Amino acid sequence: MLNDGKSNRVAVIGGSRIPFCRANTGYKDSSNQEMMTATMKAMVEKFHLHNKILGDVALGAVIKHSSDWNLSRECIIDSGLSINTPGVDMQRACGTSLETTLNIANKIALGQIDAGIAGGVDSISDAPIVYNDSFRKILLASAHGKTIQEKIKPWLGMKLRFLKPKLPGVKEPRTGLSMGESTEIIAKTYNISRESQDQLALESHEKAAKAYDEGFYDNLVHPFKGVSEDNIIRRNIAIDKLKALKTVFDKSEQGTMTPGNSTSLTDGAAAVLLSSEEWAHQNNLQIEAYLSHCEIAAIDYINDEGLLMAPAYAVSSMLKKANLDLQDFDFYEIHEAFAAQTLATIKAWESEDFCRSKLNRDDSMGSIDKSKLNIKGGSLAIGHPFAATGARIIATMARLLNNKGSGRGLISICTAGGMGITAIMEK
């Protein structure tokens, strides 16, 4: 976004989402389009957007069927918005809905549009299954055949092993390592203990449960398919239960990461409404907060830095541009892809050596007040539908700032491919 004092301020009116569910549970029969449409309908109802034409709607999903090629537009048509509202599909791995948010925000800042919706959705339960490439080629060759003989001939080379499907994976193509395996390396590099990871996970669940009990998520999380609360949250979790879990990515004595301190595979959708100040006033909508800065970074995760450490770089660059220190925030929303990744990012900012050698700073960025970190629960408890997490965090931060009445919030999200996407919100 432009920050020259001449661009429009970007207002966050608020957000909506459906509860997040562990894969193959509450939404096992729901598609991306169904979940995203439900979220959009909730937005339309909540902010009185029936039959309104918005400047644009940007949505995305990491895991998509080929039939979802125009997901945003299809969701718009069934949402209650005017059919004349355009839509665009976007994707930046786990940062997808923060990327869609910034896309809409930049258009508002430039005066191209007055208002728009950003969001994201992902279903692990309804993931597309790709068959062996040899089988795919047989199908294509047969379909392109013009005669009966030409359609039959490709099948003569068919072998039973061709029917074995290729299930979606989370391995990085350049390293062959999964996100979890990559993060185990980060944990070892930054000396992140099993105990500290389990403690962060425990606190994430406790904070999320308390937030629901106190009504923080009322009219922010909307029931869907009989689910009214994120079903990954463990209300009676105990540190002993977390300590008892076996490691999964490194099963040796050196392993530290478990299902308890790693995010669960999750289904869900989330969205936020953004606008200019003038549009908000014209439509009698309260502004919860403002988006003021953003930064995206990429690192050499193949030869140098850990896969999920890019946000450490992005935040540093963003704060320099904003002339702010790491401590100048009332709230920190740092995506908990894994407890180890969140703790390593914080430790990197605390490290004088890292900040000097990697971030070109004169000194360390210092510590954050962890009592301000993910205070309504993080991804470890709430879940992580890849493309939905950014919009969830934006909506949460907007409500936090609005409830406080003033302040500043820092958002940080790591993504596959060694990227990080960050933002600053203010009230």
Contact in structure between 297 and 418 (CB atoms under 8 Å): no
Q: DSSP per residue over 88-102, as a string?
A: EEE-BTBTHHHHHHH
21, 75, 294, 414: which is the annotated catalytic residue? 414
**CA distance linking residue 16 with residue 38, whole number of Å:** 10
94, 205, 222, 355: which is the annotated catalytic residue? 94
> Where would I find the beta strands (DSSP E) of 86-204?
87-90, 115-122, 130-131, 165-166
414 is catalytic: yes
Indicate the residue type of 134: S
**CA distance linking residue 369 with residue 262, whole number of Å:** 22
**CA distance linking residue 359 with residue 342, whole number of Å:** 18
Q: How many CA atoms lie within 13 A of 94 on its CB side?
A: 29
205, 222, 335, 384: which is the annotated catalytic residue? 384
Helix/strand/coil for 12: strand
Task: Report the Cα 290 to chain-centroid distance in Å.
Answer: 19
Compute CA distances 358 → 101, 265, 364, 422, whole Å: 28, 32, 11, 18
**CA distance linking residue 84 with residue 87, whole number of Å:** 10
**CA distance linking residue 116 with residue 273, whole number of Å:** 6
94 is catalytic: yes
Among 411, 407, 332, which Cα is nearest to 376's?
332
Q: Provide CB contacts within 8 A for 310, sequence distance 6+.
A: 297, 298, 299, 301, 414, 415, 418, 419, 420
According to DSSP, the β-strands at 10-17 and 289-298 are antiparallel
Kindly list the catalytic residues: 94, 384, 414
